[in-house]
Structure 1
Amino acid sequence: MNFESGFTHDTDARSYVAEDGVVARSRRRRNLIIGGVIALVVLLAAFFMFRSGKPVDADASAKQVPTVTVVVPGRSTVDAVVTATGNLAARREMPVGVAGEGGMVTQVLVEPGQWVNAGQVLATVDRRVQTQLGNSLAASITVAQADARIAQSNLDRAMQLVSRGFISKADVDSKTAIRDAARARVDVARAQLGQAQATTARLDIRSPAAGLVLTRSVEPGQVVGAASGVLFRVAKGGELELLARLGESDLARMRVGQQASVTPVGSTQSFSGQIWQVSPIIDPQTRQGIARVALPYNTALRPGGFAAARIIGGAADVPQLPESAVQSDTKGNYVYVIGADKKVARRDVKVGDVSDTGVTILGGLNGQEQVVLSAGGFLNPGETVIPTRATVPK
């Protein structure tokens, strides 16, 4: 029994020893394989790192110097153009209403869009009552003239009899006074008739000057009077204007006689005009003023319409940059310039007119700087870059 038990334990021990040897050899093999792979990776990394023959600086490879495109704008003579918007209107709009006592309208003789002459009748008002009054006054003139003739005849006879002593000098003076009074009554009657005729004539609603009829707000059969308001609106001479609204700074640059190009909304056609008046006041609410641009008559220009204007305010010798070079933030407009040390620096600028050719720079640049053309939003002040010069797009 004891012999068998001892044999069994010895056999198990040898089995365990054999298994430990196998595991140890397996671990050594795995460690050798892992070591070989690591060595291979190190060798490959070293090969690529030293392939150029120069050691690679880890910090320099992590931070590459960017290349940026720059322009040197120089200076050029550009037109100082101010853009504005506003409404079209008649330069001299004449409201026409009832000048007399009024009455019922019998005829309206014009339509909007028609040209009229000075004094031309636009509408007529019923005048039957005024006509009868005029006839009555004309008859009173005839009566007064007859009385004046009788008084003159009596005076003539008295003058013949006074020399014979049949009539006293006092009687002659009395008949002279009667004759003069009769003549005065004739003048009064004529004046009354003239007044009536003038009143009747005022029943005709007439244009005060030659021009273009803009609106009509009366129809036959309508009763009109002094309280009826405006019945017609006439643009004197057909002259039009643009009421261009400008900010304070732009308005200060406006002068009478400056040329402007006006384009109505919805149209590609532009019309030439010039400033004929600059508003002397600024609206305290909008902080804007009005520059009035005179325009010739054209059927495409309609009073009340909206239009845009480009006003030429002279020429200036200034740098001009593409829009991509100019940036802005809460501090204002700025550009990035590259100095002699190839470092980026921020430069605040004052922007002028923006046109198809670029942005006019009124201050901050002299035109000889290297200005970053684009991608300025990815740069930081003080950063080192490699500048590549380009020409300014025209």
Structure 2
Amino acid sequence: MFLSKNKKTKALLIGLSLAVSASFVVAGCGNKQQQAQTQGAQVKAMQVIQQDTPLTSEFAGQIIGKDEVKVQSKVSGNVVEKYVKGGQWVEAGQPLYRIDDRQYKSAVWQAQANFAQSQATLSNAQNDLGRYEQLVASNAISRQTYDNQLSTVNAYQAAADAAHAQLIKAQQDLADTTIYAPMSGQLAVDDVAVGTFATAGTTALVTIGSSNPVYAKFNVSETDYITYMNAIMQGGNQVKPIVNITLTDGTEYPLEGEIVEQDRALSDSTGTLTFKALFDNPNGMLMPGMFARVRLSGQTIPNAILVPQRAVQQLLGKSFVMVVNGDGKSEARPVTLGNKVGSYYIIKDGLTTADVVVVEGLSNLQEGVPLNVTMVTADDMGFSLITDTSKFDSNKVAGSSTK
């Protein structure tokens, strides 16, 4: 009986001890939470920037040749000689191929014979007309006989003219059995082999194209076009854009280009507007078929308000940033976004240069929370007005664009 009473006492002491310990744990957690609330949420923030900002628009494009021709024969026949090979540089007027000319030589000989015969017949008829002219003057023959002979001469003259035209045509066909380069340029490797039957106006013997200069062709969506034109008008500076291209490995081509062609309307199928920028290519670095990122610049928006892109949050189609208000607490501020420029957004409405925006620590940050702010600069965070020129995926070239 005494032993049982001791056991109950011991159990009671253990329970009290655990309860006290638990109360200290709960109190400790509460103190930590209270201390965290007192210190505020740890964030990094920076002052809103205002400065003249160059506008840059980027579009995915492709290099194409300025001039490109598929060389075809004007006459049909087997290719019997080939004077060039694929990839070779040729000059305008340089012979490329020769078509079997035997039938065309025969055609020339036949046309020459026909023409000679028609000339002889015409000559006889003209001699007779001369005699008839003297006879009709002396009333030795009727006027009707003379008129009939004159008609015969005119018919023979027409036949001779037709025979002469056939001779010229046969001579031209014979000359066309040799195919010459229509322009200076580099041949593609799609050249046909000797023995190929070439059909006049159909068979492409080889493709020839110029390599300097070349076009960078790119498409601009309707939205991008309107945005860029609005930015130009906002800047009040109607200057021609500067055009640069970046290749797929991130290399920036050293020469600037110029927009020389613009389509008259948006494409019905893609809803985009096609542009062509002309680039000098003295070293042949740019090859038709290469993908490139086309950058348009040269327009400046004066006194633009800038915030880093990472500071902007979007919800239900609305954009907002967290600012540090006068009480040191977070405040959600709705903003109207403009163009992207490098690491920044241009802010059309919602901020002033007096505002401080949160750029780091936004995860789960709610409005009205006390903040423990560390002020940073653009250099500290690696922000820049220059767009990243790292490698891009050429497979995404169609229809893609950024600002």
**Structure 1 residue aligned with 2:266, among 272, 281, 287?**
281
Instruction: Give secondary structure in 1 for the equivalent of 2:39.
Output: coil
Matches within 5 A, 1:153-302: 153-160=127-134, 167-170=140-143, 171-226=145-200, 228-235=202-209, 238-253=212-227, 257-266=240-249, 268-270=251-253, 271-279=255-263, 280-282=265-267, 289-297=273-281, 298-302=283-287
**Structure 2 residue aligned with 1:307, among 272, 292, 316?**
292
Instruction: Give secondary structure in 2 for the equivalent of 1:188.
Output: helix
Classify 1:82/1:124 alpha carbon distance in 2 versus 1 (closer, same or farther; 3 Å).
same
Instruction: Give secondary structure in 1 for the equivalent of 2:38.
Output: coil
Classify 1:98/1:257 alpha carbon distance in 2 versus 1 (closer, same or farther; 3 Å).
farther
Instruction: Please say if residues 351 and 359 of structure 1, whose CA atoms lie closer than 8 Å, have aligned partners that are also in contact.
Output: no
Classify 1:215/1:77 alpha carbon distance in 2 versus 1 (closer, same or farther; 3 Å).
farther
Aligned to 1:75: 50
Q: CA deviation at 1:336?
A: 1.4
Aligned to 2:339: 352
Instruction: Please say if residues 108 and 220 of structure 1, whose CA atoms lie closer than 8 Å, have aligned partners that are also in contact.
Output: yes
Q: CA deviation at 1:169?
A: 4.2
User: d(CA) in 1 for partners of 2:268 and 2:149?
Assistant: 74
1:320 aligns with 2:294: no
Classify 1:234/1:267 alpha carbon distance in 2 versus 1 (closer, same or farther; 3 Å).
farther
**Structure 2 residue aligned with 1:342, among 328, 337, 342?**
328
Instruction: Please say if residues 338 and 345 of structure 1, whose CA atoms lie closer than 8 Å, have aligned partners that are also in contact.
Output: yes
**Structure 2 residue aligned with 1:148, among 122, 128, 131?**
122
| Amino acid in the other structure paired with 1:103 | G
In the alignment, structure 2 segments of 5+ residues that lack a partner are: 1-5, 14-19, 21-30, 230-238, 385-403
Matches within 5 A, 1:374-389: 374-377=360-363, 379-389=365-375
Aligned to 1:95: 70
Q: CA deviation at 1:221?
A: 0.9
Aligned pairs, how many?
342
Q: CA deviation at 1:312?
A: 1.7
Instruction: Please say if residues 88 and 186 of structure 2, whose CA atoms lie closer than 8 Å, have aligned partners that are also in contact.
Output: yes
Instruction: Give secondary structure in 1 for the equivalent of 2:171.
Output: helix
Matches within 5 A, 1:103-122: 103-116=77-90, 121-122=95-96
Instruction: Please say if residues 93 and 233 of structure 1, whose CA atoms lie closer than 8 Å, have aligned partners that are also in contact.
Output: yes
CA RMSD of aligned residues (A): 4.0
- Please report the TM-score for the alignment, with normalisation by the length of structure 2: 0.69
Q: CA deviation at 1:373?
A: 3.3
Instruction: Please say if residues 308 and 344 of structure 2, whose CA atoms lie closer than 8 Å, have aligned partners that are also in contact.
Output: yes
Q: CA deviation at 1:211?
A: 4.6
Q: CA deviation at 1:176?
A: 4.1
| Amino acid in the other structure paired with 2:322 | Y
Instruction: Give secondary structure in 1 for the equivalent of 2:119.
Output: helix
| Amino acid in the other structure paired with 2:205 | L
Of 344-353 and 74-83, more deviation after overlay is shown by 344-353
Instruction: Please say if residues 48 and 353 of structure 2, whose CA atoms lie closer than 8 Å, have aligned partners that are also in contact.
Output: yes
Instruction: Give secondary structure in 1 for the equivalent of 2:121.
Output: helix
Aligned to 1:9: none
User: d(CA) in 1 for partners of 2:69 and 2:353?
Assistant: 53
Instruction: Give secondary structure in 2 for the equivalent of 1:231.
Output: strand
Classify 1:276/1:176 alpha carbon distance in 2 versus 1 (closer, same or farther; 3 Å).
closer
Of 72-81 and 256-265, more deviation after overlay is shown by 256-265
Instruction: Please say if residues 118 and 163 of structure 2, whose CA atoms lie closer than 8 Å, have aligned partners that are also in contact.
Output: yes
Instruction: Please say if residues 70 and 207 of structure 2, whose CA atoms lie closer than 8 Å, have aligned partners that are also in contact.
Output: yes
1:132 aligns with 2:118: no
| Amino acid in the other structure paired with 2:163 | A
User: d(CA) in 2 for partners of 1:130 and 1:202?
Assistant: 10
Instruction: Please say if residues 55 and 299 of structure 2, whose CA atoms lie closer than 8 Å, have aligned partners that are also in contact.
Output: yes
Q: Percent identity, aligned pairs only?
A: 25
In the alignment, structure 1 segments of 5+ residues that lack a partner are: 1-22, 32-37, 39-56
Matches within 5 A, 1:362-373: 362-363=347-348, 364-373=350-359
Q: CA deviation at 1:212?
A: 4.4
| Amino acid in the other structure paired with 1:262 | I
User: d(CA) in 1 for partners of 2:32 and 2:91?
Assistant: 91
Matches within 5 A, 1:19-34: none
User: d(CA) in 2 for partners of 1:106 and 1:148?
Assistant: 40
Instruction: Give secondary structure in 1 for the equivalent of 2:352.
Output: coil
Instruction: Give secondary structure in 2 for the equivalent of 1:303.
Output: coil
Classify 1:110/1:77 alpha carbon distance in 2 versus 1 (closer, same or farther; 3 Å).
farther
User: d(CA) in 1 for partners of 2:213 and 2:95?
Assistant: 21
Q: CA deviation at 1:193?
A: 0.8
| Amino acid in the other structure paired with 1:377 | S
Classify 1:385/1:128 alpha carbon distance in 2 versus 1 (closer, same or farther; 3 Å).
same
User: d(CA) in 2 for partners of 1:251 and 1:219?
Assistant: 47
User: d(CA) in 2 for partners of 1:267 and 1:379?
Assistant: 37
User: d(CA) in 2 for partners of 1:175 and 1:63?
Assistant: 124
Of 189-198 and 148-157, more deviation after overlay is shown by 148-157
Q: CA deviation at 1:206?
A: 4.5
Higher alpha-carbon Rg: 1
User: d(CA) in 2 for partners of 1:135 and 1:344?
Assistant: 98
Aligned to 2:60: 85
Instruction: Give secondary structure in 1 for the equivalent of 2:257.
Output: strand
